[in-house]
A and B are shown apart, each in its own frame.
Chain A
Amino acid sequence: MLEVFQRVGLVPRACGWELTLRCNMSCKHCGSFAGRPREDELSHDECLRVADELAEMRCGRVTLTGGEPTLHPAWDELALRLTRQKVQVGLISNAWQWQARDAERAARAGLHNVGFSLDGLEAEHDSFRAPGSFTRVLEAIRTVRAAGLEVAINTTLHTLNRNQLLAMRALLVDLGVRSWQLQIAIPTGAMAAHRELVLPPEDLLWLVPLIADLCGDRSTRLRVVASDHIGYFGKAEAHLRQQDVSMPFWLGCWAGLHVFSIESGGNVKGCLSLPSTRHGEAGYVEGNVRKSSLREIWNRPTGFAYNRNFRVDDLKGFCRVCRYGDLCRGGCTWKRYSHGNPDAGDLYCLYYQAMKHRRHDLLEDEPSEAERGFFAVPV
């Protein structure tokens, strides 16, 4: 519901900052085609200015990412620049070259946590990334814990690792991991060439309730977090969004409302996952920090129009008749874009799939006439 965001103001609370697109791995599901750096990446001085602008805008949290952010020579200097100005900073690394001294650098820079990507148990993770990579992630986790920092793990779910959630959870608990974010592979970037590894949408019928159970489990210190493109509504929703204390349910995409991102070349988007010119789509780029200040870009009346100017009439497919349409605004913008059928609504929505497959036991309310009617004919 857009009114909720408008009521508190369009405030940039969190930013994903791609320090470099350079990467020492080439993962099958990389959404940003990371590998070579962009030819126009921000200079050291420009990065320092951006850090100061983020602090000046009172951006509460910044996540340094890439590419592989630790390949940026000043990643810890930039992190320190932010933390000294009371910005909470996290880092997401692939751990391929992570060593104990990197953990020490992270601790000195005042990082809130260090995140690593772990995409399954050893065979599955390594098949997506590189042989030996799984072992390096485990070792990196230990170095970060030894440095006194919290570890966050990101896992992208696909057809190879979808049955490994419980085993992975046991592993992460043993390693002392604090936070585990689950996300579903989206067919964008490199993953567009591996659509056979993308989960079929009907998997949501069992996977989302399982993820909700994991999110609700308080038996260990590990906190499981569902990413924004997992959901929405039904009996699972309250657990999926339980970190949202007063309103534990999905309120639509946050891009350009409370979050935004900066590419290493200075382009600004609502969310780093949204496509850019590298994907042949420039419509989500709002400006560049070389030519305008971050505040100017954020405050443009015409900026982030796909969210700020959203109307219920914009919804497509089943989302048009869904009882939650005005609250949900059609789900994750990136997911909707990447699945390539803008007229279908959000196929990767639990509510959609439950309605389609008549799994009304997963829902909280009796379906409306319009919702039933939508699936009365094959879609």
Chain B
Amino acid sequence: MKEKEIRERVEQFLKRTARNVVVPASLGLGLSLSGCEGNALRARATDAGRDLSDTAITQDLPAMYLVYLVMMPDAAPDTRPADTESEAGALRPDAGPDISSPPPPYMVPPSPSEDAMPAPQPPYLLMPAIAPPTSGGTAPIPDPSKKAE
């Protein structure tokens, strides 16, 4: 796809979504002027959006279809004032302390455990393009027969 077509598709999307935004807003204004309760409006929009989203999910539609064709009624950014205390600094102060435990040493492939499954006989094996490297390290692999709780 050439750059020209890519940009045309983006433009089309932006125009299309602009129309989608305008129509519900106009509808909402009209209903509110005629005395429709605001909460009911919001509830309807939310339910409608959710239903469409769920349908799309169950039909396993592509992700971008979900993203761009489903109207999200609660998509507006939160305009509440930021918690100034927690916004200070590049490192979020409410970020939990990550325990800086050293990473595990690179493994030595363990001996096959007793409950290892029988070797497969796949017809798919190819010779490796490059010989596997020899591994270093001493960390044992937990015994797979003892499943963690």
A residues bordering B, Cβ < 8 Å?
1, 3-4, 7-11, 13-14, 22, 24-28, 33-36, 38-40, 58, 60-61, 71, 73, 86, 88, 96-97, 121-124, 126-127, 129-132, 134-136, 138-139, 159-164, 167-168, 170-171, 189-190, 193-194, 196-197, 237-238, 241, 243-249, 258, 263, 265-267, 276-278, 282-283, 285-288, 290-292, 295-296, 299-302, 323-324, 327, 364-365
Contacts and interface: CB of A to CB of B under 8 A. Distances in A.
Given A127-B109, A170-B124, A278-B98, A327 B6 contact: yes
B126 interface: yes
Contacts of B86: 287, 291-292
A372 B148 CA distance: 57
B77 A299 contact: yes
Given A26-B106, A40-B96, A300-B87, 9 more contacts: A33-B104, A40-B97, A61-B57, A86-B50, A243-B62, A244-B63, A246-B65, A247-B10, A292-B94
A199 B124 CA distance: 23
Contacts of B50: 58, 86
Interface residues of B, number: 78
B83 to A, nearest CB: 8
A9 B76 contact: yes
Nearest to B90: A283
Interface string B32-54: 00000000000000000010011
B14 interface: yes
7 contacts: A26-B107, A36-B104, A123-B128, A160-B130, A163-B129, A278-B103, A288-B95
B74 A58 contact: yes
B110 interface: yes
A285 B91 contact: yes
A129 to B, nearest CB: 8
B13 A4 contact: yes
Nearest to B18: A7
A97 B146 CA distance: 9
B74 to A, nearest CB: 7
B120 A138 contact: yes
B75 interface: yes
Contacts of B117: 132, 135-136, 139
A131 B112 contact: yes
A269 to B, nearest CB: 10
The 8 closest A-B pairs by CB, nearest first: A9-B75, A299-B78, A244-B64, A35-B104, A291-B94, A127-B132, A33-B103, A277-B98
Contacts of A27: 107
Contact of A13 (B67, B129, B147): B67
A245 B77 contact: no
A300 B90 CA distance: 13
Nearest to A127: B132
Contact of B98 (A26, A246, A267): A267
A163 B132 CA distance: 14
Contacts of B87: 300, 302
Contacts of B97: 40, 277
B29 interface: no
A171 B90 CA distance: 47
Given A7-B14, A24-B144, A61-B57, A134 B96 contact: no
Contacts of B107: 25-28, 130
Nearest to A266: B96
A38 B98 CA distance: 7
A130 B141 contact: yes
